[in-house]
Structures are given as C-alpha cells and as structure tokens.
Structure 1
Amino acid sequence: MNWTLEVVIVPVSDIDRAKRFYAERLGFVVDHDTVVGDDIRVVQLTPPGSGCSIVIGKGAVPEMPPGSLKGLQLVVPDIEQAHAELVARGVEVTDVQVLGQNPAEAPHPLDNVGFVFFSDPDGNGWAVQQISSRARESSS
C-alpha cells in the first residue's frame, strides 16, 4: 500500500504576505484561495512538480505559532540551479553547502549532500536538497 503525504500546514502571521512569498518568490502554484466569511480562509499552494502542497490560512487550519515549523524540505535535481533561481527571485538563501558524504557512488558530487537553506517571512525553516536520481524502492 502506498502512503502519500499530500498537505503540510505552514503557520503564518500574515496570509497575504505568505501567499506572495510562496507564489512570487518560490514559484509555488496557487491551487486555491478560499474565503468563508471573516473567520475562515484557506490558501493551498503546491511546489512545481510536487505531489504535496502547503496550506496557510486561518479558522480551518490548526493553530500553531507563526514561524514554528522547521525542517520542511524540497528536493531538486540541481542545487546550484535552484540556488540561482532563489537568489534571482529575491529569496535570502544560504550558499550551497555539502552535508555529509554520499553513501554510494552518485552521478553528481552534490547528489544527496548538496543543500541550501532559507526561511519564509515568519521564520518557518526550509531546506532544499539535491537528489538527481533515487535508489530503487525495496519490495518489502
């Protein structure tokens, strides 16, 4: 049986500011922005190519302190290109960092170990990792 992660709630203090950051700076697709009266608003955004979306909003999402989510991770096939795109879009991002050693021969020296890090305007922490190819799934 497949188990898929489809949505992650990201706590923010300003929905419109966060929506602009994720859509304009990161290039996430705005799937919907649903307003149900003054007390309920749900905005769903999806990174290009991802099967998992993020949701920001109020009223219909669990209450969490803005900026309290750390360790969200995106995966890209080329970390240097991703870094360049983030910088060009005005995102404050770290330089490319190598964390650890590849456990096996990788097609590119940054595969599995190349990362950059950034935060959204509220301080929710994100990592971007280079993985250009994945090991085959085990059948267990």
Structure 2
Amino acid sequence: MDWTLEVVVVPVSEIDRAVDFYHDKLGFDLDHRTTNEHMDVAQLTPRGSGCSIVVGSLPSQRGMKPGSLHGVQLVVADAAAARQELVDRGVMCSEVTVFDERDGGTFFGFTDPDGNTWAVQQIKARADKPLIPHDARGRFGAE
C-alpha cells in the first residue's frame, strides 16, 4: 500500500499575506483559492513537488497557532542557486551551511511572515533524477 503525503497545513494569521508570500515570494503555484460562507482557503504547491501546502480558515488550521510549524523541509538540487533566487525575490534567508560534505548535508532556511520555519536541503541528485518526472520541455508530471 502506498502512503503519499500530499498536503501540509501551514497555520497563518492572514491568508492574503500568506498567499502573497508563498506565491509571489517563494514561487509556489496557486492551485486554488476557495472562499465561501464555510471557508477561506488556498492550496499552493512548490514547482516539482507532489505535496502542497494549505493556508486558511478550516477547523484544522484554526486549531494551530500561526507560526507554530517548524522544520518543514524543501529539497533542491542547488542550495546556493535556490537561496539566491529567494533573496532576489526579497526573502530573508540564512546562509548556506554544509553540515556534511556528502549529498544531503547542505542546508539553508527561511521564515514566513507568521514565523513558520522552513529548511531547504540540497540533494544534487534531484537535478538528474527528480522525484516527479518531467517531459522534454521541462514540465513536471503528465499533461
């Protein structure tokens, strides 16, 4: 039986500010924004990822204090290039740190506007072998 992690709830205080940060600053794709009398939620997905984040006002989101999520990890093929991309977009990032010279031992981090913290790990193998295959034009997934 496969068990796939597909959504992580990120507790935020202001959904519009969170969407601006995750979409405009980090470059996550905005999958949908649903606003009605029952909810105000947005689902966003990092490019190349099979897992999304959800921000908003569902009961599971209101049960977590904004800024209480720590240690969610993104993986990139080149930490220095990824860090520079975020810095160029106005995201405050820690310096790249090499904890171990082997692949997977290089990290940097950032914090969203509510104080949720993220780690970014470098795994060079992702450049040649992404978890989600992409076609010859560089698009991820099947179309």
Q: TM-score, normalised by structure 2?
A: 0.83
The structural deviation recorded for 1:48 is 0.4
Distance 1:57 1:72 in 2: 18
Distance 1:79 1:92 in 2: 14
Where does residue 45 of structure 2 map in the other structure? 46
The structural deviation recorded for 1:100 is 3.2
Matches within 5 A, 1:79-118: 79-102=79-102, 111-118=103-110
Larger-Rg structure: 1
| Count of residues in Structure 1 that have an aligned counterpart in Structure 2 | 126
Matched, 1:124 2:127: no
Unaligned stretches of 5+ residues in structure 1 = 103-110, 135-140
Higher helix fraction (1 or 2): 2
Write out per-residue CA displacement over residues 46-93 of structure 1, whole angstroms, 9 at most, x where no aligned residue. Answer: 000000000000035432000000001000011111011011000000
Matched, 1:71 2:71: yes
Distance 1:25 1:61 in 2: 25
> 1:40 touches 1:60 (CA, 8 Å); kept in 2?
no
Distance 2:90 2:117 in 1: 16
Where does residue 55 of structure 1 map in the other structure? 54
SS in 2 for 1:133: helix
CA RMSD of aligned residues (A): 1.6
Where does residue 138 of structure 2 map in the other structure? none
Write out per-residue CA displacement over residues 8-54 of structure 1, whole angstroms, 9 at most, x where no aligned residue. Answer: 000000100000000000000000000122x5111000000000000
Unaligned stretches of 5+ residues in structure 2 = 127-143
SS in 2 for 1:4: coil
Q: TM-score, normalised by structure 1?
A: 0.85
